Structure 1
Amino acid sequence: METAEEVDLVQLNIPQAAQFARIEELWPEFGHSLQVLAASDGGGMAWRTVDGIEYLTRYTRQDGKQKVKSLGRRTPETEAIFEQFESTVLKARRVRRELREDVLMSCKLAKAYGVARLHGRLAETLDWLWYTGASSRLSVFGGTALLAYESGSGILAPAALIKDQHLQFVARTEDLETLNLAEIAEACDVDNEGATWKYDDDRYLIRTKRERRLLAEVFLPTYFVRRLDGDAHLELKAMLRGPGAKGLTFSRDTRPIELTALDPSAYAIAAHCMRDDELWAERAAFACSLVRHRWPDDFDLVQETILDADPDVRWARLRGP
């Protein structure tokens, strides 16, 4: 089997591992604060006394002008509204303020130690998908997905394998309404050129409208499983639709980015299906070694069968993208 060949795995050095550990310590609070603030409309809230009566007042800004809105007299209901605002928005602002410098320092050190390797343009799209929750419908694929495994495995992904000209994803559903390609295309259109998508052989190609530049590929699970039979078909389909593996990485422009990638086992098998392409063969071999030697869950019997089988005998070999 081509993927049976052992691949030399390069362990993260102490400073690199320390930055991953630090950002993982900070991220639950810091990342949550970013999402809370992104979902709020800004502004403030305070009690205002008019003729001896307290009113809960909401302050926001629109078009550079302050807007003031009364939410009503002080009652148990308005007190609950104010407490909710304090425990969410105000708390998120405090957390962001208190942790921002620590997060930035960790990102700068990660860049200095060589583990901030995600291109800023790709990071912008992935960040948007995380903010909007669209990452719950997609798993990152391609070379970028290998960055999601570094912290959990303690292994540095080879530089030659992580380079992506555009993003690749595997959808967790074939239902287009659930997938919401319009939102994904908007996230990919970081230069606001306008983006459109087109179906092509069990995947969607997202391109800029004018220059037709490829921004992303969204593979449907059927792209990988359509030529598999029986248990192999069901196993890989379930793996591709699974929740994936979350991992933190660093962008070149010194930001922490949360990735939701295919589980490494699913990645290894999907890459193995595309191994007619030399780059994918190398990615498959790396992912197989990673799973077998540095990931908590090894391949099960059915998964090993898929990897061991001769595709020219059991099913037609899948082409790469």
Structure 2
Amino acid sequence: MTREQRRLVETMRSTTFDYSALARSRDGFGGGMQWLKVKKFEYLTRYRRDPITGEQKATSIGRRSPETEAIYDRFITGRADLDRQMGALRPELAEQARMAKALRLSRAPSEIGDVARAIGLSEMIDHITIIGEAAVYTYECEMAALFPREILPDDGMDLLVAGVHPTDVIDELIAVLRRARIEVQRARLSRDKAAVELKTDEGLSIRLYTISTLENLVDQYAEVTSYGAEAVRWALDQPVMRSILIDRNGRAALAAVLEPRAYCMLRFMALDVEEMSLIRREASSELTAAVVKLVHERWTEPFAEDHVQTIGPLQDALGEDGIPSAPRM
């Protein structure tokens, strides 16, 4: 990235983190409160619309009293304060989006950006991590470098979600997406039967994994290379990091992603255990090798020597001397 691009990305990062935090706090004020008169008494009622069924549900908090009046005042004041702060940031976000397009930082497909943004503006950001190739858009922003556009992915999102089975969070995720006006349908199990798949109306495929389903894939990988499987287990133990991606409309989205070295380990495993066409495998291999080179040149921590020695494709991507080979393109 140029100095101007780097400066804008850092500004967008700060604004997006701030706005996303406000939006998550604003979720707690969803729906509203009102006083309802029943016979001769007034009762404070909290109402919300169920994001899945669309039905409005109301709960009585209690008869009018100094305590319920204080609850009502805190609710109205807190919601108004958050709305004011978010409103103040929206012009900045719009201006930054315009500048991002002008500086050619608009990279991720808009469908991916919309899904990532919906998750990043909700509490689901604490429970969902992008683990597939869509994560490369965040690594561009995190390491201030741009991949060649022709190798960038655009065919789906792989998400690591909380729960024992991917179906555990489907309803919550669908609700978050529908609030952002993204309609999704449940699709079939993926071919590898490790993930549950959702499809948006725009045709974006979203595959959901959990730690337990990934561990099943690691067990399959261990049959190919036991030491490589240990490297993947190391990868899954690494802390999740948060960064931003910028979509083709220039809009930033907060996203939780794997540490980039961990991402590379997971992608090398996927190349060995997932079913994919030859064309898809070549494209994925090339993209993973490009991320390896970027990590080697710009990430704060180097690849561990034992990981390099135990994962053949990682060693190939780095070369015999631990230096990335020249890109094929």
TM-score relative to the length of structure 2: 0.70
Give me the CA root mean square deviation: 3.9
CA distance in structure 1 between the aligned counterparts of 2:312 and 2:9, rounded to whole angstroms: 34
SS at match of 2:249: coil
Residue 32 of structure 1 corresponds to 21
Other-structure match for 1:17: 6
Evaluate the alpha carbon distance shift between residue 164 and residue 224 of structure 1 in structure 2; reply closer, same or farther with a 3 A threshold: farther
The CA deviation string for residues 19-43 of structure 1, in whole angstroms up to 9 with x for no partner, is: 2111122223211122222442255
Unmatched runs of 5 consecutive residues or more in structure 2: 36-41, 273-277, 316-329
Trace 1:234-313 onto structure 2 (pairs within 5 A): 234-240=230-236, 242-273=238-269, 274=271, 277-308=281-312
Q: Which amino acid aligns with 1:271?
A: R
Contact 1:168/1:216 (<8 A) preserved: yes
SS at match of 1:246: strand
Q: Give SS of 1:290's match.
A: helix
Q: 1:129 to 1:104 in 2, by over 3 A?
A: same
- In the alignment, is the contact (CA less than 8 A) between 1:19 and 1:106 conserved in 2? yes
Question: How far 1:106 sits from its partner (Å)?
Answer: 0.7
Native 8 Å contact 2:186 2:197 kept in 1:
yes
Q: TM-score, normalised by structure 1?
A: 0.72
Report the counterpart of residue 82 of structure 1 in structure 2: 73
Contact 2:231/2:265, CA 8 A, preserved across alignment: no
* Residue correspondences, number: 285
- Any conservation in 1 of the 2:166–2:196 contact (CA below 8 Å)? no
The correspondence for 2:189, drawn from 198, 202, 208, is 198
Stretch moving more, 268-277 or 177-186: 177-186
1:76 Cα offset (Å):
5.5
Match of 1:6 in 2: none
Classify the secondary structure of the residue corresponding to 2:205. strand
Q: Match of 1:4?
A: none
Q: Does 2:30 match 1:41?
A: yes
- 1:120 equivalenced with 2:114 (yes/no): no
2:149 aligned with 1:162: no
Q: Unaligned 5+ residue runs, structure 1?
A: 1-11, 47-54, 312-321
Shift of 1:44: 7.3
Secondary structure at the aligned position of 2:16 is classed as helix
Amino acid of the residue matched to residue 97 of structure 2?
A: C
- For 2:101 and 2:285, the matched residues in 1 are separated by 29
Distance 1:133 1:200 in 2: 30
Summarize the Cα distance change of 1:154–1:210 in structure 2 as closer, same or farther, 3 Å threshold: closer
The equivalent of 1:226 in structure 2 is 220
Contact 1:33–1:92 (8 Å) recurs in 2: yes
Say which is worse superposed, 221-230 or 185-194, in terms of deviation: 185-194
